[in-house]
Amino acid sequence: MDIELLNPDRLVDWCSLIAVPPAAIPALREMAAEVSADAALLQVFRAFHEQTALRGEWLREWAPLPFDPLVESRLGERASLFYLLAYLSALPHAWQNYQRLGVSLEIFKDTMLDFRFYIQDYYDLRGRWGYAQFPWIWRHLSSVLFRLGRLQYMLIPFQGGVTAYRRRAGASHDASASGALPEILLLADPEMSLRQDGYAYGAGNPQSESDAPAAPSWQPLFEARSDGWRGHPVSPNGRAAAQPVFLPSAEWELILQRGDTVLDLHIPRADPLNAQTCGGSYAQALEFFPRVFPGTIPRALYCHTWMFSPQLQQLLPPESNLVKFQREFYLYPSPGGVGFLWSFVFGEKYPDPASAPRDTFLRRAVLDWLAAGGEIFDLPGLMFHAPHDWGKQPYYRS
Ligand SMILES: CC(C)(COP(=O)(O)OP(=O)(O)OC[C@H]1O[C@@H](n2cnc3c(N)ncnc32)[C@H](O)[C@@H]1OP(=O)(O)O)[C@@H](O)C(=O)NCCC(=O)NCCS
């Protein structure tokens, strides 16, 4: 079995196609030559290639990729470069799969751009070429995740315990009787303990018992009855209300529950976010997935990101792209922590707030907020409106 990327010319072609940083290519070529010349390394490489690129058995958990002891002993700190080359060796198979699915080369190249970002990150942090984001990139290589315009998507079953409802067309909306409920409403997950303020118990990730919230938690109730649903409504910024409501099925329909198919959204770096590019990308996704994977109809757009830390609405001005992006989604409780935001705003390079850079508005605001004892935690969110309505923040209308 020939592995195409062990051929130096083909390696350069594939790396250029997906825009691997040019300065990384000589290191990859050197690794390919070393693997080809060493029977023991080549055997491990082949076995890994067969397991991943050919049989699709990728590491799918969020855990470090286990390196073979022989690779580690032969290559030391260059072991991750060996595995980067092995992952890149799946590119021809991935492209074949794209062709089978009828997906364009442009989408292939856009999707694989994540390699470029993370290869460069690795170098910037350590001063040598390699790779660390193995648990992320298998989705790209196995045609699960696609970048369509500004954003990336994949189909997943919804795992959340919240349920979502839409007011039926024509159902009366007596604001005084219903407490001015919006047209979409989420009811809280009855299995998630909540703080007094309606966020998840444990949000903010207290580091120790003594940091743990002193206030007692409460458990939201939820009841599905033949004539409707009773539960605690969640506000669009992610807090469950203490007072339960009843949603009669004559007026409300259930539109999302655990197990339903949703589009899981990811935000690659690069260009700023705006309603036009995000809406355009989402329109593309709604056309793409049912066409490429017939029979799949996503019921909502789902996203879990540091950009949904509700505190951003206080830290940044309302016109900031991050705040506008967040307010497009209906957030719900989850016990997140500051780590998610920290890793994307400062990164591994700056673990210590005392020496973290203050060069952007967000970085200054986060550092000042944390220094003043403020908490930060991420939340998941859902979107139910159409792509052309991106920018209207419909869940925030009273
Ligand atoms: C998505 C992204 C382009 C948004 O940036 P943006 O459009 O500039 O957003 P805003 O208008 O809200 O920015 C407000 C301020 O925060 C800063 N900011 C935004 N994202 C930042 C980040 N990740 N790190 C540091 N500062 C950031 C901006 O530079 C700006 O400050 P400035 O006026 O001093 O330059 C940017 O966050 C990004 O590239 N992120 C990386 C990808 C990512 O985080 N994906 C999500 C994975 S879950």
Q: What is the pLDDT of residue 397?
A: 76
Of residues 175 and 186, the one with the higher pLDDT is 186
Q: Write out pLDDT tens, residues 290-307.
A: 999 999 999 999 999 999
Ligand 1 pocket, residue 364 CB under 6 Å: no
CA of 341 relative to ligand 1 center, distance in Å: 11
Ligand 1 atom nearest to CA at 304: 48
CA of 312 relative to ligand 1 center, distance in Å: 11
Mean pLDDT of the chain: 94
Ligand 1 atom nearest to CA at 359: 34
Band of pLDDT at residue 170, cut at 50, 70 and 90: confident
Q: What is the pLDDT of residue 171?
A: 75
DSSP state of 237: B
> Average pLDDT, stretch 346-375?
96
Ligand 1 pocket, residue 367 CB under 6 Å: no
Ligand 1 pocket, residue 326 CB under 6 Å: no
Among candidate residues 327, 305, 326, the one with its CA nearest the CA of residue 152: 305
Ligand 1 pocket, residue 111 CB under 6 Å: no
348 to 84, 116, 250, 269: CA distances (angstroms) = 20, 18, 52, 16
Tokens standing for 215? Answer: 């206030």
> Average pLDDT, stretch 90-102?
98
* Of the listed ranges 77-86, 134-143, 157-166, 172-181, the one predicted with least confidence: 172-181
Q: What is the pLDDT of residue 74?
A: 96
Q: How does strand 330-331 pair with strand 379-383?
A: antiparallel
Band of pLDDT at residue 176, cut at 50, 70 and 90: very low
Q: What is the pLDDT of residue 207?
A: 52
Residues whose CB falls within 8 Å of the CB of residue 268, separated by 6 or more in sequence, listed in order = 113, 114, 117, 147, 150, 151, 152
Question: What domains does the chain contain, in order, with CATH numbers?
Answer: 4-144 (no CATH), 148-398 (3.40.630.120)
For the whole model, what pTM was predicted? 0.94
Q: What SS3 class is residue 149?
A: coil
Q: What is the pLDDT of residue 383?
A: 98
Among candidate residues 203, 231, 304, the one with its CA nearest the CA of residue 262: 304
> Average pLDDT, stretch 42-54?
98
Q: What SS3 class is residue 127?
A: coil
Ligand 1 atom nearest to CA at 270: 39
> Average pLDDT, stretch 250-266?
98
Q: What SS3 class is residue 81?
A: helix
Band of pLDDT at residue 206, cut at 50, 70 and 90: low
Answer whether residue 210 shows pLDDT above 60. Answer: no
Ligand 1 pocket, residue 322 CB under 6 Å: yes
Q: What is the pLDDT of residue 169?
A: 84
Answer whether residue 45 shows pLDDT above 60. Answer: yes
Which percentage of the chain shows pLDDT scores above 70? 94
Distance CA(155)–CA(95), nearest Å, equals 19
Alpha helices in the chain, H assignment, sequence order:
8-17, 25-37, 39-49, 69-75, 79-88, 91-101, 105-126, 134-141, 175-178, 275-292, 312-315, 321-326, 339-345, 361-371
Band of pLDDT at residue 180, cut at 50, 70 and 90: very low
Q: What SS3 class is residue 167?
A: strand
